Amino acid sequence: MSNPSLLILPGDGIGPEVMAEVRKVIDWFGKNRDLAFDVSEDLVGGSAYDKHGTPLHDDTMAKAQEVDAVLLGAVGGPKYDALDFSVKPERGLLRLRKEMDLFSNLRPAQCFDALADFSSLKKDVVAGLDIMIVRELTSGIYFGEPRGIFKEGNERIGINTQRYTESEIARVARSAFELARKRGNKVCSMEKANVMESGILWREVVTEVHQAEYADVELSHMYADAGAMQLCRWPKQFDVIVTDNLFGDLLSDAAAMLTGSLGMLPSASLGAPMANGRPKALYEPVHGSAPDIAGQGKANPIACVLSFAMALRYSFDQGEEADRLEKAVEKVLADGARTADLLGEDGAKPISTSEMGDAIVAALTASL
C-alpha cells in the first residue's frame, strides 16, 4: 500500500520556519514508527501571490483536494496590506476552507502545567484547562451574500450577511456532539438568539439534533457575549463549545490566550469523509504569520507541531502516536525549554525555533 499523502503549505512570515521543525517530526515518525508520508510542498498566501499573482493557484487547490491531509503554516503580512481584497493572502486560506468544505474547525485550548503561570489569569483558573471550541468554518457572515461595498445615495455602504441553513448548523452540531462523547460529554452552544434570527435557528437546530441523536450528551446554550465573559471568569466549566464562524473566530482567540501563548495552539479543519474514509482535512496553528519576528529563529513551532499531532489523530487514526507527540511537547516544556514567546521576566535565555524542534525530536526518541 502506498504511504498516506500530505500537502505542506508553509505560507508566509514564520510559516516556513515553524514548518521546517514539523518536517523533522514527520521524518522522525517515518524512520522510527513505520509511519512514512508522501510529502509534497507548495505555496499559499503572499508567497503564492508573489509567484503566481494569486494567493492560491488552481493547481495547488486541486492537489489539496486529492491528498489525505493538508498542513498549513500561516498566511499574510504587511507587505500585502495594500493588495486588492480579492487577492489578499487570507483569500487563499478561505478558498481552501470553502472548496474543501471544511465545515468543522476544532480549536483545542489546553493549558500545559509548565505554562500555567504565563496566563494573564490566575493559575487556579487555568491550570489543567482542556476545552475544545468547534467553530463552523464554511458559512455564516464570512461567506454570506449579499456582500460588498455599495453606493447608496451619496454615501458608501458596507454589507456582509449572516446566513445559515439548517443542514449547515446540524452537521457542525453533530461533529461537536461526537467529540463531546469522547471527552467530557458536555456541549455548550453559543449564538445571539436574543438579537439575531440566525441565532434563533441555530439554537433550535442544535436542540433538535441533540434530542434526536445525542440526548446522552449534556447540552447548554449561552449568548456568545456571556460566553466570552464566562470563558474569562471560569473556563473550566466548558468541555466542548460549538459556535458559528465569526463568534468562533473571536472566542477561539480569547480561549487561546487563556493558555498563556498563542504560539501553542493547533487546529484541525475537517469536512466530509473522502472515498478512503478519511475526512477532508486541513491542519494549521491558530497563530498568524507574525511578520515582526519572521526569519529570526524566534518563533515557537509547537502550535504547528501539535497541528501535525491532530493530523495523526483525526486523519490517520494514530491516536497513540498523537499522544506520544503531545507528551514529547509536554516533556520539553516541563524540562524548561522556552522559545521567546514563553519567557517570563526572569531573564532566562530563550532557545531558537530549530532548537525547540530538535528538543521535541529528542523527546520523541527518548519515548521509545
The dihedral built from the CA positions of residue 119, 360, 343 and 290, taken in this order, carries a sign that is negative
Q: Which does 90 bind (CB under 5 to 8 A by kind): Mg ion, ligand IPM, none?
A: ligand IPM
Under rule CB under 5 A, residue 136 binds Mg ion: no
Of the residues 42, 68, 164, 192, which is catalytic?
192
Q: Is 331 a catalytic residue?
A: no
Q: Is 244 in the site for Mg ion (CB under 5 A)?
A: no
Contact positions with Mg ion (CB under 5 A) in 246-265: 249
Which is catalytic among the residues 225, 323, 327, 358?
225
Which segment (16-24, 87-95, 220-228, 234-242) binds ligand IPM by CB under 6 A?
Answer: 87-95
Judge contact between 253 and 219, C-beta under 8 A. no
In the residue annotation, 346 being an active-site residue is answered as no
Instruction: Report if residue 14 touches ligand IPM, rule: CB under 6 A.
Output: no
Per rule CB under 6 A, is residue 72 in the interface with ligand IPM? no
Kindly state whether residue 90 participates in binding ligand IPM, applying the rule CB under 6 A: yes
Q: Is 225 a catalytic residue?
A: yes
253 in catalytic set: yes
The only residue of 17, 68, 191, 249 in contact with ligand IPM, by rule CB under 6 A: 249
Shortest distance, position 62 Cβ to Mg ion, whole Å: 26
User: Has 239 been annotated as catalytic?
Assistant: no
Complex with ligand IPM: residue 26 or 93, whichever CB lies closer: 93
We find the least distance from the C-beta atom of residue 146 to ligand IPM, in angstroms, to be 20
Among 22, 25, 43, 93, which residue sits at the site for ligand IPM (rule: CB under 6 A)?
93
Q: How many residues does the chain have?
A: 368
- One symbol per residue from 95 to 134: x for binding ligand IPM (CB under 6 A), - otherwise; what is it? ----------------------------------------
CB of 247 to ligand IPM, least distance (A): 12
Active site residues: 142, 192, 225, 249, 253
Q: Which residues bind Mg ion (CB under 5 A)?
A: 249
